[in-house]
Amino acid sequence: MQELLRIGCASGFAGDRADAGLPIVAELAGSNGFLVFETLAERTLALCQLEKRRDAARGYSPALERMLPIVLGPALANGIRIVGNFGGANPRAAAVRIRALAREAGFPKARVAVIEGDDLTASFSPEELAARETGGTVLENCPEVVAANVYLGASPIAQALDSGADVVVTGRVADPALALGPVVHTYGWDWMDWPRLAAGMLAGHLLECGAQVTGGYFADPPFKDVPDLATVGYPIVEVAGSGHLVMTKPARSGGIIDVRTVTEQILYEIHDPSAYLTPDVVLDITDVELIPDGPNRIGVIGARGKARPDTLKATVFIEGGMLGEAEISYAGPNALARARLAADIVKQRLAARAPELEFRVDAIGITSVLGNLSAQAWDEIGGAPEVRLRFAAQHARRELVELLLDEVEALYCAGPAGGAGVRRHSTARLASASCLIERERVAPTVMFAETPA
């Protein structure tokens, strides 16, 4: 019998815990398992694109430098292969860095495969992309596209593993494809075996957000208690050749795997339970069953699949102007009235100096998430002992954004009593849009960063 495939996920986003992979490596040691890293949200990719424009040798995910040095050596020493979208906007540069880390860890012959083909920036004109935009007109009359990246599927990942890769680094791929690639490589599933591909894609979907399926983003005491969340174990999925899945986590780790946590993650970011579109298969979860299989073990069966879509989703980035943020605090007796006066001063000043600039004012922890500060909101705040105001604006003209930040800083001496702790920051922004790209216009490639001696 073929050994059961086990895949662990050590990261759900670029800012995840750097040491999460070590317990998984210890759990998978000697099993020919896989460790996947998902580090590439749309925002992260946008930041990578900006960094690559500044430095052609950079532009990969910042998570690479935090996460891989800790786990790369132990993983390679235990025969555990790694698949991650660390490549960001520059997978080749990421592979060069991974090769250097492997040499430092004592594995100079480690084979690092690079998946490319997701960057369509040079393949489509702005007009062609605008014609393919879905759900908006962000790209209408856009003179220049900063970057266009399509979501690749799992096939090139499986190909790289078939060719002997120890580490596979990708750019933009569908998140669940990071796990589906190792599954297809291991079991040799046909790329038109929709039921099995659906099961493999569901395995990747359950893994892709890291600790969300083991109690992170789930805990809500006392309604949903999670034991020892400070040492939460990141997930491991066991995949049988039949497509049967079992979700679990490392032994003696914190967190929890149960029907509730698995249910929440299955439904996470699913718009249509009968048709979750991915590059490799359309996943139908309407008949999925969750079966307890012991402590922190949940079996998952019943995934159904339909033929993959004819088009692939792409994210297109264009210049989005400047974002500026400035904050100031008021504390002590009458803090609310002084904060309200400060906000009114800035509003009056900007109405006279830059009436075209739209900005928002939040009282952090009071109305910073649920809406802007209206007159009614001020009245509902009550006698707050301290108020932290945040002013924010986005505009194509940097000087208008900086003007808002100047006005907030001037509150030190030209505003209400007791203002303190001003922080200001401005950064270039990218706006994004989604497009549907014909599959025949996308050509993924697999290459190796360096042939071992």
Question: Measured between alpha carbons, how far is 182 from 187 in angstroms, rounded to an integer?
Answer: 9
Q: At what angle are helices 177-187 and 155-162 packed, to 10 degrees?
A: 50
Query: Structural domain boundaries of the chain?
Result: 5-117+152-309, 316-434
Residues 6+ apart with CB under 8 A from 50: 428, 430
Adjacent-strand bridge partners of 447: 114
pLDDT tens digits, 99-142: 999 999 999 999 999 999 999 999 999 999 999 999 889 999 88
Task: Quickly tell me which residue has 């359309």 as its tokens.
Answer: 282
pLDDT of 105 reads 97
What's residue 294's pLDDT? 95
- Which residue, 159, 180, 59, is CA-closest to 443? 159
Rounded to whole angstroms, how far apart are CA atoms 235 and 243?
Answer: 18
Check residue 452 and give its pLDDT.
43
What CA–CA distance (Å, rounded) separates 278 from 144? 28
Could you tell me the mean pLDDT of each successive run of 10 residues in the chain, 453 residues long? Answer: 85 96 95 94 87 92 96 97 97 96 96 97 94 93 91 98 98 98 98 98 98 96 95 98 97 97 96 96 98 97 97 94 96 90 97 96 75 61 81 95 98 96 92 96 94 44
Q: What pLDDT, on a 0 to 100 scale, did the predictor assign at position 50?
A: 84
Contact 114, 91 (CB under 8 A): yes
Q: Is the dihedral of CA 413, 415, 419, 424 positive or negative?
A: negative
Query: Which residue is listed with tokens 């900005």?
Result: 359
Which of 80, 64, 59, 48 is CA-nearest to residue 16?
64
b/e string for 7-41 if b means 16 or more Cβ within 10 A? bbbbbbbbebbbebbbbbbebbeeeebbbbbbbbe
| Residue for token pair 């040492």 | 231
Question: Residue 433 pairs with which residues in a beta bridge?
Answer: 316
Superfamily per CATH, domain 316-434: TT1725-like (3.30.70.1120)
- 98/93 Cα distance (integer angstroms): 9
Q: What is the pTM of this model?
A: 0.91
pLDDT in tens, 288-336: 999 999 999 999 999 999 999 999 999 999 988 999 999 999 998 899 8
